[in-house]
Amino acid sequence: MLALETGARYNTIRTLLWGNIDIADRCLKIGKDKTAAGTGRTVPLNQRAFEVLKFWAQQFPNRLPQHFVFPAEKVGAAGDAFDAKVYDTDPTKPVGAIKEAWESAKKRTRRHCPQCKTGTLADQPKPGAGFVCIGCRGAISVLPAGLCSVRFHDLRHSAVSRMIAARVPLPIIAKIVGWSAGTMAKMAGRYGHFGIEELRGAVESIARGEIHPGSPVFSPVSESTPPTSRAN
């Protein structure tokens, strides 16, 4: 959730310290990042990211500024119920790889009911086949694809794409996600997904703009200018 709501990179979040989070001012300060432009930047927290961090902070009542927000830990399970338990949490070390947890999270998205959008799909009671929603009771034969193809970096991609779609100016987006000035235009082309109507609106805005005689871009059109030149 923090990656999606801030556009921060995986390693930036993985090594985030509690001392870099300003709860009172609702922002976080990024430490070392992939680029020089991104290192040391301050990112405001929207309401959803803020509430998630407040909830997460409650799990660590004895946290210190030098502790990692996402600490190293071990997870194990045993018995018929196979209930997972977290142990050996070390707040002085950041979490390592999250590959297994990420894959499990993606698989759970296949259990979202495609019919009611809110229910969870369960296996049909034996000897039946297929799956049934515990909410709307709708039945399907095959689990939906879910988000199994999503990469963690796609959360950053989504954050940038949403800001672009909301018409947030590119310099502001660059400041939030840590783009350098030289890569801002290239990244906008990579992350932005524009439909034909958005492109149409862009070129229509050209016609709505006024051309002033003293403009450094457009020189005045004299009466002697040939019509074909004017059209060009």
Full-model pTM: 0.74
> What are the tens digits of pLDDT across the range 154-207?
999 899 888 888 888 888 888 999 988 777 777 766 766 667 787 787 788 787
How many angstroms separate the CA atoms of 99 and 108, rounded?
14
Question: Would you list the domain boundaries of the chain?
Answer: 99-147
Query: 29 in helix, strand or coil?
Result: strand
Please, what is the angle between helix 153-165 and helix 184-191, to 10°? 100
Alpha carbons within 13 angstroms on the beta-carbon side of residue 165 total 10
Average pLDDT across the chain, whole number: 84
CB 125 within 8 Å of CB 139? no
